[in-house]
Structure formats: structure tokens, C-alpha cells
Amino acid sequence: MSQTIKIKRRAYSMVYDDILLDERLSWRTRVVLSWMLGRSPDFEIRIWYIRKLFSLSNQQWNSARKEMKAAGYFHQERTHTEAGKIAWAHFVTDTPEPPSSGNHTPENHTMV
């Protein structure tokens, strides 16, 4: 007989106050960013899932993404697949960084 205990609880997110108070972001973007940051670092978030979960149109998602990018919470890197095709890796962070054109290895980032 197994002696393991499984704990069941509702999912929740802990978010720094400065993210919730960042006036550069709309309320919609703050909620989406807070939810994304609440996922574990190894959790891969699909953009279609974010749009479905928050009932965002493509235009609304693009607007939120642009706000996060301008504030330094979101960035994307162009990569190549093994087949040589272009692919995009998206990252979100709780420590905003100024947008840069160079490639760098993100720390404290969640893959989107």
C-alpha cells in the first residue's frame, strides 16, 4: 500500500505589487502578465491557450503583447528548427528589462 499523500488545491499566482501597479500596462495586460508569471518556470504556455482562457481576440493579444514588450516584461527570439525553419521563442519575466536587439540568455523567465 502506498503511503503518499496528494494535496489538492486551487491554482494561484503570487505577483509582485509593482507589476500590478505598473501604469504602463492596461488592466487587461496586468492580469494576463500576472497569470503567465504565476505558472511554474517549466510550464510552456501556448498563446492560443492564453487567448482562449482570457477570451482575447488576436488584436487584444497583440495589444497586450506590445505593452508587455514595451515595458520590458516580454521578449521574443528568433531561432531555427533542426529542419532549418525559422521559429520564435517567447519569454516573459517579472523583472522588466529594456528591449534590446541582441540575443541573450534570459534569467527568471518563463517560456511562452
pTM of the model: 0.75
Give the model's pLDDT for residue 111. 58
DSSP 20: H
Whole-number Å distance between alpha carbons of 97 and 93: 8
Give the model's pLDDT for residue 40. 83
Handedness of CA 100, 66, 92, 48 (dihedral sign): negative
Grid cell in block for residue 26: 492596461
Give the model's pLDDT for residue 45. 86
Low-confidence ranges of the chain (pLDDT < 70): 1-2, 4, 6-7, 98-112
Give the model's pLDDT for residue 74. 94
Cα–Cα distances in angstroms (integers) from residue 101 to residues 36, 45, 77, 97, in the given order: 23, 24, 9, 12
Residue-wise pLDDT for 77-101, tens only, equals: 898 889 999 988 888 999 987 655 5
